[in-house]
Amino acid sequence: MLIESNSKLIMIGDSVTDFERSRPRGEGLFGGIGKSYVSLVDALLNVTYPQSRIRVINMGTSGDNIRNLKARWQTDVLDLKPDWLSILIGINDVWRQFDTPLIPENHVPLEEYRQTLDELVSITQPKLKGLVLMAPYFMEPNRSDPMREMMDQYGEAVQETAKKHGAVYVDTQAAFDAYLRYYHPVSITWDRIHPNVLGHMIIARAFLNAIGFEWKK
């Protein structure tokens, strides 16, 4: 597995990451890490690799787009000095263009998204042992759907950034697409964005596969 023993892993993003995590940091007693894929990653890592003592911290914030992420980057990432960092952002950057089409100041165009992600990665990666970039997704199997089509473009920007910087890339959309070959989206989500526990496991599994997690260990 890529993540070394005694590592601090911060997982940051929007509401999909947040899911009722504690403030100021999502960790500790009484479900402090929240109920998202982050809690599943934490549980699987520490059950399967107990000797590695990997500390997982949830720093997701509901409603965030990449502008919001940049605004809190110093306090919520750099000041916490992670060894590994995982980023899942971009859903709201796309979503606001569809659910609030007449409020353009809430929209984040693709080029701004790409440039800001590259900026955050550039200033952070030298301080890390490892970086994971996860593609935003929309649980819609019809790739011609306008929102799905745009989300795919933002996902491609994440993939290009990961390749440019040598980061681990997680194709979260592809992980959902594999499930949606057999089931309708309503089986795991009410709005095609926020997953139930099965959907969170799809994200967690995709992340763990990307970092070389040994499921049969």
Q: Which of 5, 99, 187, 191 is catalytic?
A: 191
- 191: amino acid identity, one letter: D
Q: Which of 14, 15, 52, 184 is catalytic?
A: 15
Q: Is 191 a catalytic residue?
A: yes
Q: Which of 7, 76, 194, 200 is catalytic?
A: 194
Q: Is 15 a catalytic residue?
A: yes
Q: Facing residues of 131 across strands?
A: 85
Q: Is 118 a catalytic residue?
A: no
Instruction: State CA 177 to chain mean position distance.
Output: 17
Q: How many CA atoms lie within 13 A of 102 on its CB side?
A: 0
As a whole number of angstroms, the distance between CA 29 and CA 105 comes to 38
As a whole number of angstroms, the distance between CA 95 and CA 121 comes to 23
Do 66 and 118 contact (CB within 8 A), yes or no? Answer: no
Do 168 and 162 contact (CB within 8 A), yes or no? Answer: yes
In the chain, the DSSP E strands lie at 8-13, 55-58, 84-88, 130-134, 168-170
- Would you name the residues annotated as active-site residues? 15, 191, 194
